Chains A and B, each alone.
Chain A
Amino acid sequence: MKTTSMKKLLVAMTAAATLGTAGTSYAEDPIRIGGIYILSGSASTYGEFAQKGIDLAVSEINASGGILGRQVEMIYEDSQGKASVAIQAARKLVYSENADALVGLDSSGVAQGMVPTMPELQKPLIITHAATPDVTGKLCNPFTYRISVNVAQNMKAAALVAAETDATNWTTIGPDYAFGHQSWEFFGNYLKEIKPDVNLMSETNFPRFGAEDFTPFIDRVMNSDAEGVLISVWGGDLVNFIRQANTRGFFDKDMEVMFTVGAATEVLSALGEEMPEGVHLSTRYWYDAYDNEVNDRFVKAYVDAYGTAPSYNAEGAYAAIYAYKQAMEAAGTTEGSAVAAALSGMSMDAPNGKVTFRAGDHQAMVSPNWGVSGPMDSELGIRSLTNLQIFDGEKVARTIEETGCKL
């Protein structure tokens, strides 16, 4: 009995020892980038979009000589949508997989938990999806950047759209965590600023994330005197929401309906014609909105590789890898703090135009897209976006003082 457990202990120690030796790296080694996304469970489709975008960027970069003459290698970890798991994944990627840089994060909750550990790891992180303003606000730090649109930017744009409508009484339906609450908070504040006579209703609706049945909240809004409703429900929940809202006649009411993540291609293709016409839809990147060389190349390569139009999450992840290429080449090294420093204030050409990481808070000045759902695009089987507005990234961003970020 005793000897066997001793043996096991020895085996474990030997295994642990070999882990340690993997710690040396050589200049000829590939550059390793760690990706932390939701790769299992409900929202894993978002992680897969990110992987598709990244894999495309990596194969393009490797085919044209790599970064600093070195090939790029991706290592992925599953965050499971949990902050604690993501933190562990980040430590594993940096300490035992020798990742030079990190990309990732699909959820605001995960981002809020993980970002404070980045200075400990001394490696740069580019967030490509999670939208909480806090990580480029009061939680900001020298190693954390975000290439995707945040809630504050998108809600400023939403408020500008809402201000153009006749609706005075506004309410919200959003998931009951950081994203839903912050969306409403920022939207309300901006809208009140632009149009002081609006009424932000005290009756708000925050169903559980993953609630499946949203009819109680749909009924509640229909029975209220709301004239406008901001809906930040997303992903599979949004598909459920819209189908249930259809059966209740929610969209027949004379109401301005704004979906803050409604023009996500995965939601549109799941819904097809069930997505109603005439509602306001936003996305952080609409593949058809940008007329530039990088976007043309990206959309074409993406459609060729995967057969569908790129989702916003694929675009952000794709661009993040190119951001690292540019930053590492500017710094002339892959050393963590040098690359992080190079990203600050850096401008690059991304599919969604010229993107600049603002030095004051490390938020990319990117443009939210808002449009109105129109006729079906028969080729892709999704609703088209009409009256498409591309908001100026600089103009919808908070000032550095407003972010509360001190770098």
Chain B
Amino acid sequence: MSGIGAALLNSLDIGLLLFIIAVGLNIVFGVLNIINFAHGALYMLGAYLAFTLINLVGMPFWAALLLAPIGVAILAVIIDRVLLKFIYSRDVADSLLLTFAILLIINESVRVIWGSGIQVVQPPQLLSGSVELLGSSVSTYSLFVIVVGLLLLAGLWYLFNRTRVGRIMRAAALDRDMAEALCINTRMVVTGVFAFGAWLAAVGGVVAAPMRALDPGMGDKIIIESFIVVVIGGLGSFPGALLGAIILGLIHGFGGRYLPEVNLLLPFLGMALVLLFKPNGIMGKGATA
């Protein structure tokens, strides 16, 4: 029984971290019709900026959690204004190519700036211990990740359903020309949404930094996982990102403990099953997505 509690909490902390990252990917796709290959690289930048602020500048973790994502969002604004603006009217495949190029540039820049070595960020004092919960010892930090994930979930739901900004974003996603006709500055919406997606990726990166070692390949690892989440949950869908992330979290958390022989296969099996029965993902919308 104790094993199940540990597996469940572990699944949640893996799943909610993935949610933070995948939801940004989905928002960007939903509104901008761009599959952002560089999303994982932005996550990595968040982690490395946090590493710089905490280990090199000496700031507390909380300051890094606030500042690093803002830094990445500013960079995203620049990327949007300098590069992405040329491809919004083009086919999705073009965005894939361009963002893949951005990913390569960011990956190499990280390697040049921070080196290829393995870096470690310590969790804040407050969260460095572990507690007894559901019959097993759980690190306080992984509980913190779960809390951050849930807070972001609630915040995003509120944003999309209860605020004007959220409604504008949804309007722009639905029909950009009509939104423009209604005097919405879609140019600003586009840049804002891309920066917001990057901000979410970077929050994920800062939150991940104290529990996952930093190296220049960390972005590639997370983007593959995020794509699995998106395929399972549905591209462009907000609840889909949550569902996909939780399913993948459960696959990792329980699969590793109870079906270790096939742990490598399970995520892809899940993905194949979904594609077979719901080609647009569990929450995906029709064929137009």
Asked if A240 and B213 sit within 8 Å, CB to CB, the answer is yes
Smallest beta-carbon distance A17→chain B, Å: 30
Asked if A216 and B137 sit within 8 Å, CB to CB, the answer is no
Range of interface residues on chain B? 35 or more
Q: For the complex, what is the distance from the CA of A43 to the CA of B261, rounded to whole Å?
A: 25
Q: For the complex, what is the distance from the CA of A277 to the CA of B108, rounded to whole Å?
A: 36
Q: Which stretch of A2-10, A255-263, A265-273 is in the interface? A: A265-273
Asked if A216 and B215 sit within 8 Å, CB to CB, the answer is no
Q: Which stretch of A144-152, A241-249, A334-342 is in the interface? A: A241-249
Contact partners of A48 in chain B: CB under 8 A = 115-116
Q: Which of B118-172 contact A (CB under 8 A)?
A: 118-120, 130, 136-137, 139, 141-142
Say yes or no: is B211 at the interface (Cβ < 8 Å to chain A): yes
Asked if A45 and B116 sit within 8 Å, CB to CB, the answer is yes
Contact partners of A216 in chain B: CB under 8 A = 7, 10, 252-257, 260, 263
Asked if A42 and B215 sit within 8 Å, CB to CB, the answer is yes
Q: Mark B25-65, 1 if CB is under 8 A from A, else 0.
A: 00000000000000000000000000000000000000000
Q: For the complex, what is the distance from the CA of A248 to the CA of B142, rounded to whole Å?
A: 11
Total A-B Cβ pairs within 8 A: 116
Smallest beta-carbon distance B43→chain A, Å: 12
Nearest B residue (CB) for A235: B118
Q: Which stretch of A121-129, A204-212, A294-302, A324-332 is in the interface? A: A204-212
Known interface pairs A44-B116, A45-B118, A267-B118; A223-B3 also in contact (CB < 8 Å): yes
Say yes or no: is B190 at the interface (Cβ < 8 Å to chain A): no
Q: Which of A160-204 contact B (CB under 8 A)?
A: 176, 203-204
Smallest beta-carbon distance A172→chain B, Å: 11
Asked if A219 and B257 sit within 8 Å, CB to CB, the answer is yes
Say yes or no: is A30 at the interface (Cβ < 8 Å to chain B): no
Asked if B216 and A42 sit within 8 Å, CB to CB, the answer is yes
Q: Mark A52-67, 1 if CB is under 8 A from B, else 0.
A: 0000000000000000
Interface size on A, residues (CB 8 A): 40
Say yes or no: is A225 at the interface (Cβ < 8 Å to chain B): no
Known interface pairs A40-B107, A215-B10; A45-B215 also in contact (CB < 8 Å): yes
Known interface pairs A176-B264, A219-B257; A212-B108 also in contact (CB < 8 Å): no
Q: For the complex, what is the distance from the CA of A247 to the CA of B213, rounded to whole Å?
A: 15
Q: For the complex, what is the distance from the CA of A220 to the CA of B130, rounded to whole Å?
A: 18
* Most A-side CB within 10 Å, residue of B6, B7, B118, B120: B118
Q: Which stretch of B76-84, B217-225, B228-236 is in the interface? A: B217-225
Say yes or no: is A213 at the interface (Cβ < 8 Å to chain B): yes
Contact partners of B253 in chain A: CB under 8 A = 216
Asked if B120 and A243 sit within 8 Å, CB to CB, the answer is yes
Asked if B218 and A42 sit within 8 Å, CB to CB, the answer is yes
Contact partners of B213 in chain A: CB under 8 A = 236, 239-240, 243, 270
Q: From B10, B116, B117, B136, give the contact of A213 (CB < 8 A).
A: B10
Smallest beta-carbon distance A360→chain B, Å: 36
Say yes or no: is A20 at the interface (Cβ < 8 Å to chain B): no
Contact partners of B141 in chain A: CB under 8 A = 247
Asked if B116 and A219 sit within 8 Å, CB to CB, the answer is no
Q: Mark A217-237, 1 if CB is under 8 A from B, else 0.
A: 101100100000000000110
Smallest beta-carbon distance B101→chain A, Å: 14
Q: For the complex, what is the distance from the CA of A267 to the CA of B120, rounded to whole Å?
A: 10
Listed from nearest, the 10 A-B pairs whose CB atoms lie closest are A216-B256, A42-B217, A247-B139, A41-B217, A239-B213, A44-B116, A45-B116, A270-B118, A216-B257, A236-B213
Can you list 11 A-B contacts (CB < 8 A)? A176-B263, A206-B260, A216-B7, A219-B3, A235-B215, A239-B118, A248-B130, A266-B118, A267-B118, A270-B119, A272-B120
Residues of B whose CB lies within 8 Å of any CB of A are: 3, 6-7, 10, 14, 107-108, 111, 115-120, 130, 136-137, 139, 141-142, 211-213, 215-218, 220-221, 252-257, 260-261, 263-264
